[in-house]
Amino acid sequence: MTDTADGIAQRRSTTAERPPPQAAPRRSRRGKDAGWWLFIAPALALVVAFFITPFVLNIRFAFTDWSGYANAIAFNGLENFRGLIDQGILWQSIKVTVIYAVVAMLVQNAFSLCMALLLLRSDRVNGFFRSFFFLPVLIAPVAAGYIWSAILAPNGPLNKFIGLFDAGFSYAWLGHPTSALLSLACVDAWKWSGLITLVYIAGLHAVPESLIEAATVDGANAWQRFWRIRFPLLAPAFTFTVVVSMLGAINAFDLIASTTRGGPGTATNVLNIAMFNQYGSGFFGTASSLNLVVTVLVIAIGLPLITYLRRREIEA
């Protein structure tokens, strides 16, 4: 008993003599979190160098008389915009750009939605056609422009095909103002419809099959099942496809540059083509002004369109 008491007393004495544990040195939170800058610094540097800096410089040069015919660059206020209006370039280019973008967006989405409904079932045949319709997306826009220039030529395959039903038919699709603009808008829609089709297919597959089966049991036909069930639930995909196709068409350049170069006359002279022509003529300040107009147009159309479609998503 005494030995036990002595052992307990000895352990207490040893514990009392042991120095208190020292707290490990704490690293400051600022030093601990400083490493994340190393991960975003390269990307941030690229954004600043290739996006923010050119954008700021473009705004600056849009209000100057910078050209290849003067030794100095001077601020000239709104003179570039006044000159574009006086020459009839500004409003004409905006009108052509908006018409081109609206037609391309409507044709692209209507065609892609129809193709998505036809290719909805997942099997080997539909998989082949999905890949086939995606091929135009992989073609460079300039190459697509040259291909369609040959197809739409007066002696091209399109006129020869129509000639099978109407002997002697010949039409210069890119030689008349209205048909040139509408033809290029349809070519733009063809170029990107494969991508939009895949987005719609993904959206249609996201619709629960239980809803379709319930509607079928209730006697709904194919059109009612699509319009009452599938189409409202496609709202998120619809928002993406409409905005992407619309804004992409507003920024059209290479397809038109490789076909009509803005002609005939100014029929296909969209803003980017007009900007390129001004730059090629040495009027760099005026080209910067047109570039600024493109930016404003994208914002003016894009923001209300996104707001409206997002509201429609919520209501759906």
Q: What is the DSSP string of 216-259?
A: HHTT--HHHHIIIIIHHHTHHHHHHHHHHHHHHHHT--HHHHTT
Which CA distances in Å does 118 have to 127, 204, 215, 235, 285? 12, 11, 20, 19, 50
At 35 the pLDDT is: 75
Tens digits of residue pLDDT in 266-305: 999 999 999 999 999 999 999 999 999 999 999 999 999 9
User: Per-residue confidence at 71, pLDDT binned at 50, 70, 90?
Assistant: confident
Domain assignment of residue 64, yes or no = no
At 36 the pLDDT is: 79
Angle of helix 284-315 versus helix 235-250 axis, rounded to 10: 170
Contact (Cβ atoms closer than 8 angstroms) between residue 183 and residue 152: yes
Q: Which residues contact 316 (CB under 8 A, 6 or more apart)?
A: 232, 233, 235
Q: Which two tokens stand for residue 43?
A: 């990307």
Tens digits of residue pLDDT in 86-116: 999 999 999 999 999 999 999 999 999 999 9
Domain assignment of residue 238, yes or no = yes
Contact (Cβ atoms closer than 8 angstroms) between residue 199 and residue 113: no
Domain assignment of residue 280, yes or no = yes
Q: Look up residue 276 and give its DSSP letter.
A: H
Domain assignment of residue 267, yes or no = yes
Considering just the CA atoms, what is the radius of gyration of the chain in Å?
A: 32
Tens digits of residue pLDDT in 192-225: 999 999 999 999 999 999 999 999 998 989 899 9
Tell me the average pLDDT across 38-51. 92
Q: What DSSP letter does each residue of 19-86 carry, written as one string?
A: PPPPPPPPPPHHHHHTTHHHHHHHHHHHHIIIIIHHHHHHHHHTTB---TT-SS--B-TTHHHHHHHH
Domain range for 208: 87-315
Total number of domains constituting the chain = 1
User: Per-residue confidence at 37, pLDDT binned at 50, 70, 90?
Assistant: confident
At 169 the pLDDT is: 86
Single out the residue of 249, 271, 273 nearest to residue 105, CA to CA. Answer: 249
Domain assignment of residue 111, yes or no = yes
Please report which helix (H) or strand (E) contains residue 263, including its range.
none
Domain assignment of residue 157, yes or no = yes
Neighbours of 170 (CB within 10 A): 12
Query: Domain holding 249: CATH number?
Result: 1.10.3720.10
User: Per-residue confidence at 171, pLDDT binned at 50, 70, 90?
Assistant: very high
Domain assignment of residue 29, yes or no = no
Average pLDDT, the chain: 89
The whole-angstrom separation of Cα 229 and Cα 217 is 14
The whole-angstrom separation of Cα 237 and Cα 201 is 9
The whole-angstrom separation of Cα 117 and Cα 115 is 5
Domain assignment of residue 75, yes or no = no
